[in-house]
Homo-oligomer: A and B are copies of this chain.
Amino acid sequence: MRFGERIKELRESKKLLQRQLAASLEIDTPMFSKIERGERRAKREQVLLLAKLLEADVNDLLTIWLAEQVYELVKDEDNAAQALRVAEEEIKYAKSKKSK
C-alpha cells in the first residue's frame, strides 16, 4: 500500500476534504492532491501531523512513507533486493553496536 493511497483512504473514511487537511498542513490543495497521488512526497513532519489529524498510527504511516522512498531509490536496479538485504544487515549491526 502506497503512502498516498493510505492517506486518501483514511481521509475519506473520516469524510474530510483535501482542502481541510491541506489547510492543516499549511499547503494548498493541489499540493495535497499531489501527495495523495504520490506525485510529491510528504515531509516527515507532515506525516506526523497527518497521523494526528487522521487518528492513525504514526509508526505505521512512517513505515510506509519511508518504505516508499526506499522503493523509489532502488526500483530501477537489477540488484535492488540484494542491496536492501545489505542495508538491512547494516541496520542490524548499527543497532547492536548502539545497544552495547
Task: Using C-beta atoms within 8 Å of the partner chain, give the interface range for chain A.
Answer: 20 to 34
Q: Are B83 and A67 in contact, CB atoms less than 8 angstroms apart?
A: yes
| Cβ of A60 to closest chain B Cβ, rounded Å | 9
The residues in A between 51 and 90 inclusive whose CB is less than 8 angstroms from any CB of B are 59, 62-64, 66-71, 73-75, 77-88, 90
A91 within 8 A of B: yes
How far does the alpha carbon of A83 sit from the alpha carbon of B62 in the complex, in Å?
8
| Cβ of A39 to closest chain B Cβ, rounded Å | 18
Residues on B with beta carbons closer than 8 Å to the beta carbon of A79: 59, 62-63, 66
Chain A residues near B (Cβ < 8 Å): 59, 62-64, 66-71, 73-75, 77-88, 90-92, 94-95
